Amino acid sequence: MAIEIEKSSCTGCSYCVLGCPTQAIRMVVEKDAWPDIDPGLCTECGDCLYLCPNNVFSAPWLEARPVELDEGYDAIVIGAGIGGLMTAAGLARAGKKVLVLEQLGFIGGKYTHLDYQGYAITTAAWTCPGPKSRIGRLCTRLGAPIEWVTIRDVTSRGEHWVLTRDGRRFGSTDEARKRWWAALKGWQRATGGSPICMTQA
């Protein structure tokens, strides 16, 4: 049995392409975009069902079965995006018993990334305003161990650099942006993916 695809529901986010462990999925981009599965590479692991936010994929024999939950939760949070996670953390910090439910195969929603061949491809958000933002202040109140990383590093001579995790330096954000954009274009050509943001992992 093959995994079925509802093309009209696809928004072209490419989460399925990024998350497929065997790289069996590519995006077909014409007037619209939709995923195509290579049956020779697909192992029917079902990961695509839990990566897609729009329920494009269906395979009744792979879908999760209902489970019984413990009783006595003070709150049930639907969705493990940044808002749901921080709400749940705040409630738990206040001593409440909290259950968080998420339909996708990853947490963070639009505020996380998926790994793809050495790159971290963001699911939407590009930056956080920093420790003085509302998110930053709430993380501090929750006691979350956040390491804030800026895109610029000031050297002893006052020069600004863009750093990557592997230690490479670029003399300006423009130079770094050109390199990353070239990498993104290469990924798009290879996979047919939609133009989403990419940062160096």
Other C-beta atoms closer than 10 Å to the C-beta of 62 total 16
Q: CB of 132 within 8 A of CB of 140?
A: no
H helices within the chain, ranges in order?
A: 15-19, 47-51, 82-93, 134-142, 173-191
In sequence order, the β-bridge partners of residue 74 are none
- What residue spans in the chain does CATH classification 3.30.70.20 cover? 4-58
In sequence order, the β-bridge partners of residue 25 are 37
Query: pLDDT value at position 196?
Result: 44
Question: Mind listing the pLDDT tens digit of every residue in the chain (201 residues)?
Answer: 688 999 888 888 788 887 888 889 988 877 677 889 999 999 988 888 888 888 899 887 776 667 777 888 999 999 998 889 989 999 999 999 999 998 877 788 877 777 766 666 677 765 666 778 888 888 888 888 777 766 554 443 444 444 555 555 555 555 555 666 666 666 566 555 544 444 443
Query: pLDDT value at position 156?
Result: 38
Architecture of the CATH domain 4-58: 2-Layer Sandwich (3.30)
Query: pLDDT value at position 100?
Result: 94
Question: Which of 87, 122, 91, 90 has its CA nearest to residue 106?
Answer: 122
Distance CA 7, CA 92 (A): 40
Query: pLDDT value at position 139?
Result: 84
Helix then strand then coil, % of the chain, to nearest 5 = 25, 20, 50
Token duo for residue 67: 């489970």
